[in-house]
Structure 1
Amino acid sequence: MTPTEELEIFSHVVSAGSLSAAGRELGLSPAVVSKRLRKLEDRLGTRLLQRTTRQIALTEAGQGFYERIVAVLAAVEEAEAFVSRRSAQAKGTLKISAPTSFGRMHIAPHLTSFMEAHTDLSINLVLSDEFVDIVAEGFDLAIRIAELPDSSLVARRLADVKRVLVASPAYISKHGQPQTFDDLDEHICLPPHNGEVWRLEGPDGEIRAFRPDGPLSTNSSEVLREAVVAGMGIALRSTWDVGPELAKGDLVHVLPEWGASKHIGLHAVYPSRRFLPIKVRLFIDYLADLYGPEPYWDNPGDALYTAAAE
């Protein structure tokens, strides 16, 4: 067995989370996977994994080793593709992390066409509203909606994200329409589960902060959207999330001259490396073409907007 094959087995074990799962991906028995891992550890002179029959955990040395071999394996894949002139083909499994609602609404419906174009590729889409450690958990990339701080990761902005204040007509009929920013203090404003302060930009560029304090607390973005549609209060929502409801009149803009920071965007985030795996590059390019430069969720005349609204 070559050193590269040993690295590939180790990488699969980390990303799959167990010896048996890695064995299924590689077509090897758990016993063979375990034997080859021991051989790698013996060669390196250090333990990389703490493992039981049910789970594994990286040691400190294993964590550092894994972070470095990801780049090595990516470089090997890129080099092989270049030599064999197969740079447009994607193979293997692409593991993606994405926010729950966005993934369901704007990634899942578009996977079929991408996978039909790349028949040797499998996709593992994991939906969560928490930021995952994509290196430690073996993700190839993550889709994130945020104003991203500096980090050791690489991010490509896929689209702008517009966040606006919305409420249902029933709520406005009962509580009235706020006319100024300060009027928000007199209204029911539903907070996100992370306790985020609303940072809103006015028509003259003024930035003001407001801490919503409503009666509902939930870790589900979808529950919060449904609560707003049901008339519970005012919320700050992305147009990709509530575009259809706004178009149908189920929701209306509140204080339309105020909106969230324009620095918030939709990003594809992946580990910093010199050579980007083909499967990752192709998928990021696919999403960038699909969403940009004007996302279909901000264009009611777009056929994709109509399909998402149905």
Structure 2
Amino acid sequence: MMSDIADLEIFARVVTAGSMSAAGREMSLSPAVVSKRIRRLEDRLGTRLLQRTTRQIALTEAGQGFYERIVAVLASIEDAEAFVSRRSAQARGTLKVSAPTSFGRLHIAPYLGTFLEKNPDLAVNLLLSDDFVDVVGDGFDLAIRIAELQDSSLVVRRLAPAHRVLCAAPGYIEQHGMPLDVDELAHHVCLAASHQDPWRLEGPHGPVAVRASGPVQTNSSEVVRELTLAGVGIALRSTWDIGPDLSAGRLQVVLPQYRASRHVGVYAVYPSRRFLPAKVRVFIDYLASLYGPSPYWDHGLDEVLTVRNAAE
């Protein structure tokens, strides 16, 4: 079908240019190729469209009627292509986004107003879940994931690092003591949501896995955070989640020599880089500029961590 449309375009260009050689120059085709495509079109239609002489061409009666009709068709196709191109170049429509519950509430929702002001033709459908959604199957334009992502058929862009530290409330440490080595965690209450177990840590002697065990089972990361603040146990939390609690002293770092894998990050994942819709591109660019390699939620935490570790 596409080659048929191309033949129509060549025929129309020959008519307007007045000769096959002139049409060929305009379309960067040789006269021989133009002549061959016209003959193919005539063979397919079963009629002669052009009368050819050594100097000029003339439309046959059938060719005149055919030309008058295809000009409108080609104009409609050009208009349709321009419409799609404009939509691809402009951020418009509804953007369907998946994000982890806590992260979406803390670090996406507060900034949607500014994003929508900059993109008035966009609407956002933000769905929060701690499950890994099927981006393609569930019809999402993109998903925000906080993980150490493996090879995937999806396209991935890192938006920010995601530092995670072991932490506990001062009241828990006062009652149960501060663990001095990772092995001592076996004697402490370790809190984790079902999708966070086991903890994979990197320490002075390499990677280590710790299986969290505690009196509460939950699939909610937010529940774990509240339990930790309430002094129930030790948890592995992201600094984007507990930064203000560390700064205010409501939580303190446990075993600072151990951290979650440095490869964990905040990522945008989306189905394809080819023909990326403008609405997806502008949203990813917005989040990347908002977070960056030194995200705002980590500002000041180096000093807080240093002071607390020294005090211990």
Query: Offset at 1:300?
Result: 3.5
Between the two proteins, the alignment pairs up a number of residues equal to 221
Change in 2 beyond 3 A, CA 1:86/1:260: closer
Find the counterpart in structure 1 of residue 197 from structure 2: 196
Secondary structure of 1:222 counterpart: helix
- Cα distance change of structure 1 residues 253 and 214 upon mapping to structure 2, 3 Å threshold: same
Question: 2:282 aligned with 1:286, yes or no?
Answer: no
Partner of 1:299: 299
The answer to whether residue 132 in structure 2 is matched with residue 131 in structure 1 is yes
How do 1:121-160 residues align onto structure 2 when only pairs under 5 Å count? 121-160=122-161
Listed as ranges, the matches of 1:208-219 within 5 Å are: 208-219=208-219
SS at match of 2:151: coil
Structure 2 SS opposite 1:208: strand
- Relative distance call for 1:275 and 1:185 in structure 2 (3 A) is same
The two structures have a TM-score, normalised by structure 1, of: 0.68
Q: Does 1:271 align with 2:271?
A: yes
Residue 138 and residue 186 in structure 1: after superposition, are their counterparts in 2 closer, same or farther (change >3 A)?
same
Whether contact under 8 Å (2:192, 2:221) holds in the other structure is no
Aligned partner letter, 1:91: R
Give unpaired runs (5+ residues) of structure 1. Answer: 1-78, 302-310
Distance 2:140 2:87 in 1: 26
Q: CA deviation at 1:194?
A: 2.1
Post-superposition Cα deviations, 1:145-193, rounded to whole Å, max 9, x if no partner, equal 0011111101100011001000000000000000111111111111222
**SS at structure 1 position matched to 2:190:** coil
Look up the match of 1:173: 174
Amino acid at match of 2:156: A
Relative distance call for 1:195 and 1:300 in structure 2 (3 A) is: closer
Q: 1:153 to 1:80 in 2, by over 3 A?
A: farther
- State the match for 2:9 in structure 1: none
Q: Note closer, same or farther for the CA distance 1:127–1:84 as it changes in structure 2 (3 Å cut).
A: closer
Structure 1 segments of 4+ aligned residues over 2 angstroms from their partners: 79-87
SS in 1 for 2:195: coil
**Percent identity, aligned pairs only?**
62
2:119 aligns with: 118
Q: Provide the rounded CA distance (Å) in 1 between the counterparts of 2:83 and 2:166.
A: 48
TM-score of the superposed pair, with normalisation by structure 2: 0.68
Q: Distance in 2 between matches of 1:80 and 1:273?
A: 21
Deviation at 1:82, TM superposition (A): 8.9
Alignment of 1:44-193 (within 5 A): 80=82, 84=86, 87=89, 89-193=90-194
* Deviation sequence 1:248-306 (CA, Å, 0-9, x none): 000000001101000111000000241110000000000000001201000039xxxxx
| Mapped contact 2:156–2:268 kept (Cα < 8 A) | yes
Match of 1:74 in 2: none
| Secondary structure of 2:250's aligned partner | coil
Equivalent position amino acid for 2:270 in 1: Y
User: Greater CA deviation, 285-294 or 270-279?
Assistant: 270-279
**Separation in structure 2 between the aligned mates of residue 263 and residue 221 of structure 1, nearest angstrom:** 20
Deviation track 1:10-39 (CA, whole Å, cap 9, x = no partner) reads xxxxxxxxxxxxxxxxxxxxxxxxxxxxxx
User: In 2, Cα distance between the equivalents of 1:193 and 1:118?
Assistant: 38
After superposition, the Cα gap between the structure-2 partners of 1:86 and 1:210, relative to the gap in structure 1 and judged at 3 Å, is closer
Deviation string for 1:177-216 (max 9, x for gaps)?
Answer: 0011111111111122225211111135x11111011111
Structure 2 alignment gaps of length 5 or more: 1-80, 302-312
1:155 partner amino acid: V
CA contact (8 A) 2:88 2:277 kept: no
The letter for the 1-side match of 2:277 is P
Aligned partner of 2:286: which letter? Y
SS of the aligned residue for 1:294 comes to coil
AA partner of residue 242 (structure 2): V
* In structure 2, C-alpha distance between the alignment counterparts of 1:281 and 1:234, rounded to whole Å: 39
Distance 1:208 1:85, change over 3 A: closer
Closer, same or farther: CA 211–83 of 1 in aligned 2, 3 Å: closer
CA distance in 2, matches of 1:285, 1:81: 24
Equivalent position of 2:31 in the other structure: none
Query: For 1:195 and 1:267, how far apart are their aligned partners in 2?
Result: 18
CA distance in 1: counterparts of 2:236 and 2:224, whole angstroms:
10
**Cross-structure match for 2:60:** none
**Higher Cα radius of gyration:** 2
- Aligned partners of 1:164 and 1:297: how far apart in 2? 14
